[in-house]
Structure 1
Amino acid sequence: MSDSQRFPVAAHALAYLAHKGAYSAADAAPSAVLAASVPTNPVVIRRVTALLAKAGLIATRPGASGGSWLLRQPETIRLDEVLKAVNGCAHLGSTPAGAKGCPVGEHIPRQVAKALTAADQAAGAALAKITIADLLEADPASLRDFAPHSSCPVAA
């Protein structure tokens, strides 16, 4: 799975667990069920849920009766935490090494790297205002002023 897909898959999985009320091992959602909702492969879900579990957002149990469940209420899980949990960033690319001896090539990579840091921090600050619970609402205040991103498919 590409780095750029981990965050949307993670947010979707967490929202699904909240929607289904999966707050204990008895209510755990199997990876196949989560995968069907995304839709993706259960292996992708297991990779993402391993990262979410490592961050303390969910717990998982392996095996035929296994699955995932939330360790926190959806109102307390901010999307910046989810992004950090899956080792995500704003995904604007990375700076190529500049050409030695070129005044632009030696200077620009450092400045572009700073610009990427600024964008990453801005994305984190924006995501800190949105929770998993917001994703489940029809028109949450945290997202009211935004339209879906033009590159994202939107269900009718």
Structure 2
Amino acid sequence: MSDSQRFPVAAHTLAYLAHKGAFDAAAAAPSSILAASIPTNPVVIRRVTAMLARAGLIATRPGSGGGAWLTRQPETITLDMVLKAVNGCAHLGSPPAGAKGCPVGQHIPRQVAKALTAAEDAAAHALSRITIADLLAQNPPSLAGIRLPTA
């Protein structure tokens, strides 16, 4: 699975567990059910749930009666926590070194780096204000003003 897919799969997984009320082992959702919701392969789900479990956001039980469940309330899980849990990043890249002796080439990489850092900080700040519970709400205040693409 590509790095760019881990975060959306993780957020979807957590939202599904919250929606289904999976807060203990008795209510655990198996990877096949989670995979059908996304849709993706159960192996992908198991890789992501392992990362979420290491971060303490969920617990898992292997085997035919196994699955995943939340260890925290969805209102306390922010999307920046999810991003960190799956080693995701909002990294937009880094500018190449400019040509020596060129006034633009020596100046622009620093300025572009500052702009990228500001954008990444803004993304992290925005994600820190959105919870898994917000993803499940019809009109959460944390997503007010954000336009989602239509199909």
**Identity across aligned pairs (percent)?**
71
Matched-pair contact (CA < 8 Å) for 2:98–2:109: no
In 2, the alpha carbon distance for the partners of 1:105 and 1:98 equals: 7
Matched-pair contact (CA < 8 Å) for 1:78–1:130: yes
Q: How does 1:110-129 map to 2 (within 5 A)?
A: 110-129=110-129
TM score, norm. by length of structure 1: 0.86
Note the C-alpha offset of 1:5.
1.1
The one-letter amino acid of 1:124's match is A
Q: What residue in structure 1 maps to residue 24 of structure 2?
A: 24
Give secondary structure in 2 for the equivalent of 1:60: strand
Aligned residues: 150
In 2, the alpha carbon distance for the partners of 1:78 and 1:67 equals: 22
Matched-pair contact (CA < 8 Å) for 2:9–2:38: yes
Q: What residue in structure 1 maps to residue 145 of structure 2?
A: 145
Does structure 1 residue 3 correspond to structure 2 residue 3? yes
In 2, the alpha carbon distance for the partners of 1:102 and 1:14 equals: 51
In 2, the alpha carbon distance for the partners of 1:28 and 1:102 equals: 62
Q: What residue in structure 2 maps to residue 84 of structure 1?
A: 84
The one-letter amino acid of 1:127's match is L
Q: What residue in structure 2 maps to residue 98 of structure 1?
A: 97
In 2, the alpha carbon distance for the partners of 1:110 and 1:85 equals: 30
The one-letter amino acid of 1:32's match is S
Matched-pair contact (CA < 8 Å) for 1:21–1:27: yes
Note the C-alpha offset of 1:146.
1.4
**CA distance 1:56–1:101, shift in 2 (3 Å):** same
In 2, the alpha carbon distance for the partners of 1:55 and 1:5 equals: 18
1:27-74 deviation per Cα after TM superposition (whole angstroms, max 9, x unaligned): 111111101001111111111111111111001111111111000000
**CA distance 1:18–1:112, shift in 2 (3 Å):** same
Structure 2: which 5+ residue stretches go unaligned? none
Q: What's the C-alpha RMSD, in Å, of the aligned pairs?
A: 1.8
Does structure 1 residue 133 correspond to structure 2 residue 114? no
Give secondary structure in 1 for the equivalent of 2:60: strand
Give secondary structure in 2 for the equivalent of 1:95: coil
Structure 1: which 5+ residue stretches go unaligned? none
